[in-house]
């Protein structure tokens, strides 16, 4: 008997750089993701990849330092094996339809696919997401939040997820029937390791030391922060949290023109206050906003390159490198297959 484990990538509709500050996010799973086919058995997790060179060969007991494992993509596998501590090994192949380094959570999809293939309890998506988040932090040293792993595990077809990253609760918000999501690639590849991601998080923490939790901070106090950089970072996080709730309610009420305005406001905040956009991303957002049928667009994910998410009428004609279009897809799944996959 073989197995097939699936983990979806995600696009975040709004709420970027808020998850690691205990804020709000509104992502959805997309139909691109990572699949592992294989068979259980043995004392090793041994995986090949159709995308990356080399083989991940990880002992069931895990390794001391996942960040030192070669090839680099096997670091994620090693860190997840360490978290899940499976009783049984796995031999198989990783197949991915997600472009890596594009802001669509390809690394989270790999972690979640490995955890799923190793028999993690999909009935407890939060615990598995927390294990995968720790794994990503150990594998890369980047202090990521929980959004990517949690949406990959907990997504439900047809709904976006409003995640409260402090209470760690999820509300499913039905996506309007008369709308569609399009994801456009900027052509700019980025790595969070070595990017300003960790610096942004540290700046937000420094701002919290001045005004208290950004989640609850009063805008008047934020505007009084003396350091102009910390003031901008804090302004982004506090205004973005409000936009998440505003977008969740706009989608629920089918107020798509207003929903589009919120996306555009989020982009401006990420560009001007959080400073994680690029001229190419700004240009794509500016151009696509003028296309008939488009309600709004913004950079999605961590930024520094990657993709733009567009909210539009179904079947809107959009030029440029569209990597995916559709409605919210389901999350992780595990299937037994009749034949050995080895
Ligand atoms: C990356 C991280 C997430 C989140 C986003 C920005 O995708 O993995 O936790 O912080 O960036 O919103």
83 lines ligand 1 (CB under 6 A): no
CB 219 within 8 A of CB 241: no
Give the model's pLDDT for residue 26.
Answer: 99
Q: Taking all residues of the chain, what is their mean pLDDT, rounded to a whole number?
A: 96
pTM of the model: 0.97
Give the model's pLDDT for residue 236.
Answer: 98
Which DSSP category does 306 fall into? S
Give the model's pLDDT for residue 268.
Answer: 98
161 lines ligand 1 (CB under 6 A): no
**In what side-by-side order are the strands of the sheet with 27-40?**
56-59, 44-49, 90-96, 27-40, 2-12, 333-337
CB 309 within 8 A of CB 331: no
Give the model's pLDDT for residue 190.
Answer: 82
Q: What percent of the chain has pLDDT over 70?
A: 99
3-state secondary structure of 224: coil
- What are 60-99's pLDDT values in tens digits? 988 999 999 999 999 999 999 999 999 999 999 999 999 9
The CA dihedral of 275, 277, 283, 286, to the nearest 10 degrees, is -70
Give the model's pLDDT for residue 338.
Answer: 79
CB 187 within 8 A of CB 321: yes
What whole-number distance in Å separates Cα of residue 196 and Cα of residue 242? 24
Give the model's pLDDT for residue 50.
Answer: 94
Instruction: Report CA(43)–ligand 1 centroid distance (Å).
Output: 33
Burial class (CB in 10 A: 0-12, 13-18, 19+), 46: middle
Give the model's pLDDT for residue 195.
Answer: 72
Give the model's pLDDT for residue 341.
Answer: 65
- What are 16-43's pLDDT values in tens digits? 999 999 999 999 999 999 999 999 999 9
Q: Which of 195-199, 211-215, 273-277 has the lowest mean pLDDT?
A: 195-199
Of the pLDDT bands very low, low, confident and very high (cuts 50, 70, 90), residue 339 is confident
Q: What percent of the chain has pLDDT over 90?
A: 95
For strands 294-299 and 322-326, give the pairing: unpaired
Q: Report the interhelical angle of 228-252 vs 197-211 (nearest 10°).
A: 100
List residues with catalytic annotation. 148
Q: Is the pLDDT of residue 15 over 70?
A: yes
Instruction: Report CA(342)–ligand 1 centroid distance (Å).
Output: 34
Q: Is the pLDDT of residue 342 over 70?
A: no
302 lines ligand 1 (CB under 6 A): yes
16 lines ligand 1 (CB under 6 A): yes
Give me the mean pLDDT over the 216-228 stretch: 96
Instruction: Report CA(180)–ligand 1 centroid distance (Å).
Output: 23
Give me the mean pLDDT over the 38-52 stretch: 96
What whole-number distance in Å separates Cα of residue 41 and Cα of residue 204? 45
Q: How far apart are the first and last CA of the chain?
A: 10
Atom of ligand 1 lying closest to residue 17 CA = 12
Q: Is the pLDDT of residue 193 over 80?
A: no
**Residue located nearest, by CA, to atom 12 of ligand 1:** 16
**Residue located nearest, by CA, to atom 1 of ligand 1:** 302
Give me the mean pLDDT over the 3-12 stretch: 98
Instruction: Report CA(72)–ligand 1 centroid distance (Å).
Output: 20
Q: Report the interhelical angle of 106-117 vs 147-154 (nearest 10°).
A: 50
132 lines ligand 1 (CB under 6 A): no
- What are 271-321's pLDDT values in tens digits? 999 999 999 999 999 999 999 999 999 999 999 999 999 999 999 999 889
Q: Containing H/E element for 74?
A: helix 74-84
Exposure string of 125-148, with b = 16+ CB inside 10 Å and e = fewer, is: bbebbbbbbbbbebbbebbbbbbb
Beta strands in the chain (DSSP E): 2-12, 24-25, 27-40, 44-49, 56-59, 90-96, 159-164, 169-174, 180-185, 294-299, 307-312, 322-326, 333-337
274 lines ligand 1 (CB under 6 A): no
Q: Is the pLDDT of residue 194 over 90?
A: no
Give the model's pLDDT for residue 320.
Answer: 84
3-state secondary structure of 300: coil
148 lines ligand 1 (CB under 6 A): yes
Give the model's pLDDT for residue 1.
Answer: 78
- What are 250-272's pLDDT values in tens digits? 999 999 999 999 999 999 999 99
Instruction: Report CA(240)–ligand 1 centroid distance (Å).
Output: 14
């Amino acid at each position: 008997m073989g197995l097939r484990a699936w983990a979806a990538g995600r696009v975040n509709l709004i709420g970027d750089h808020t998850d690691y500050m205990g804020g709000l996010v509104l992502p959805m799973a997309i139909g691109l993701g990572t699949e592992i086919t294989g068979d259980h058995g043995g004392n090793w997790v041994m995986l090949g990849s159709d995308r990356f060179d080399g083989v991940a060969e990880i002992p069931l007991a895990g390794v001391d330092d996942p960040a030192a494992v070669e090839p680099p993509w096997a670091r994620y596998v090693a860190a997840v094996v360490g978290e899940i501590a499976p009783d049984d090994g796995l031999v198989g192949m990783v197949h991915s339809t997600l472009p890596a380094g594009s802001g669509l959570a390809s690394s989270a999809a790999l972690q979640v696919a490995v955890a799923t293939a190793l028999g993690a309890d999909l009935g407890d998506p939060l615990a598995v997401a927390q294990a995968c988040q720790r794994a990503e932090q150990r594998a890369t040293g980047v202090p990521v939040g929980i959004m990517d792993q949690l949406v990959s595990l907990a997504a439900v077809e047809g709904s976006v997820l409003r995640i409260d990253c402090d209470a760690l609760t999820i509300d499913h918000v039905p996506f309007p029937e008369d709308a569609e999501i399009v994801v456009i690639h900027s052509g700019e590849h980025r790595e969070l390791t070595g990017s300003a991601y960790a610096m942004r998080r540290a700046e937000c923490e420094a701002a919290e030391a001045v005004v208290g939790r950004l989640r609850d901070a009063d805008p008047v106090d934020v505007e009084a922060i003396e350091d102009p950089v910390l003031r901008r970072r804090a302004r982004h996080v506090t205004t973005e949290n409000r936009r998440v709730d505003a977008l969740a309610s706009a989608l629920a009420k089918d107020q798509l023109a207003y929903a589009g305005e919120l996306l555009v406001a989020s982009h401006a905040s990420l560009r001007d206050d959080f400073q994680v956009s690029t001229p190419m991303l700004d240009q794509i957002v500016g151009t696509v906003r003028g296309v008939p049928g488009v309600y709004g667009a913004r950079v999605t994910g961590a930024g520094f390159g990657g993709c733009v998410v567009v909210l539009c009428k179904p079947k809107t004609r959009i030029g440029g490198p569209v990597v995916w279009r559709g409605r919210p897809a389901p999350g992780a799944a595990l299937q037994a297959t009749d034949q050995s996959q080895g």
